[in-house]
A = this chain, B = another copy of it.
Amino acid sequence: MEVKNKYVAIKANINGAPKESDFEIKVENLSLIVEPESKEVVIKNLFVSIDPYQINRMKSQSSSQTSISYATAITPGEVIDNYGVGRVLVYHRPDFKKGDLVSGLLTWGEYTVVKEGSLLNKLNPSLTFPLSYHVGVFGFSGLASYGGFFEVLGQYAKLLGCYAVGSAGSQEKVNFLKETLGFDDAFNYKQETDLKSALKRCFPQGIDVYFNNVGGKMLEAAVANMNSFGRVAICGVISEYTNASTRAAPDVKDIVYKRIRIQGFLAADFMPVYEDFLSKTVEYLQDGKLKTIEDISQGVESIPSAFIGLFYGDNIGKKIVKVADE
């Protein structure tokens, strides 16, 4: 028994900003017959996450990067693994049965053959939220937020009683941050001629905590406006993924005199507190204290443009592609 599996691949390594012509939609024949001893599980993909970090795997790899987890090279022409949600079609493992809803390391395609040892978990059936939540707010994006207030930054910060200011690239997003998400303030970084002054205006008392997934000039401006013993959590640096010339050069004198701590982290580092994260997040959602913001495109064919759009700020909220109906 075989199906046609449509999937997205890169044609060659991508070293600048990604564009449509860098990608191709390929079709392969995928066997649904799995050898019992292989312990493989075939998944029908339902939702896949679209994340900026993938661009780093698409670059020509320097020797120093290949040893870093989450940075293993993506090979042109081949299937791209990616976090997602799907349904079990075929299995040879006692812990899964046909029809199970699962999350884990799936692919930018319609089906995934999950090998033994690869990340795959059954969804908790008591979580009666939309399936896409398992890619966004319950997935690595949410875990990063929780472990370091990332994707829903201001929301977690507000929940914990902080004065929170957001930054976005359009007036529409700025309004959304202030009016829908309840940020204390927000500004359009594209309309500021001097980010240091913008932050000084928004934070008259200085900044204690800065969550950085942008990098570049914003990191420099934040460090300049930080209070003593301020902390910077960095889980991404999108402006530097496609343009190395935007690299941040924060003033190290500020780091010394103000004893600033800068800490890089990955969402996966917080897997040990996943259960805590999940129960608190469910509670916040049920109480209406946390809002999910999802930006969902349809079909495998939309993956390249969904991904490319991340680097132009096209999305509002967590970018997800719906691959198939449940």
- Which of A's residues lie within 8 Å of B, judged by CB? 56, 64-65, 68-71, 212, 215, 219, 224-225, 228, 234-237, 240-241, 247-249, 251-266, 269
For A231, the closest partner residue in chain B by CB is: B263
Chain B residues positioned under 8 Å from A240 (CB to CB)? 251-253
- Partner of A249 from the list B64, B68, B224, B248 (CB cut-off 8 Å) is B248
For A225, the closest partner residue in chain B by CB is: B64
Closest CB of chain B to A304's CB: distance in Å?
Answer: 22
Most central of A68, A70, A264 by chain B CB within 10 Å? A264
Can you list 18 contacts pairing A with B, beta carbon distance less than 8 Å?
Answer: A68-B258, A212-B252, A219-B252, A234-B255, A234-B256, A237-B256, A240-B251, A240-B252, A240-B253, A247-B249, A248-B252, A252-B264, A255-B262, A256-B266, A257-B264, A259-B263, A261-B263, A262-B263
Q: How far is the CA of A81 from the CA of B281 in the complex (A)?
A: 53
Contact A255 B249 (CB under 8 A): no
Chain B residues positioned under 8 Å from A256 (CB to CB)? 234-237, 264-266
Q: How far is the CA of A220 from the CA of B157 in the complex (A)?
A: 31
Chain B residues positioned under 8 Å from A251 (CB to CB)? 240, 247
Q: How far is the CA of A139 from the CA of B143 in the complex (A)?
A: 45
Contact A259 B249 (CB under 8 A): no
Chain B residues positioned under 8 Å from A260 (CB to CB)? 263-264
Q: How far is the CA of A237 from the CA of B260 in the complex (A)?
A: 14
Chain B residues positioned under 8 Å from A249 (CB to CB)? 247-249
Chain B residues positioned under 8 Å from A64 (CB to CB)? 224-225
Q: How far is the CA of A262 from the CA of B263 in the complex (A)?
A: 6
Q: How far is the CA of A271 from the CA of B236 in the complex (A)?
A: 35
Contact A258 B264 (CB under 8 A): yes
Q: How far is the CA of A219 from the CA of B64 in the complex (A)?
A: 17
Q: How far is the CA of A71 from the CA of B257 in the complex (A)?
A: 8
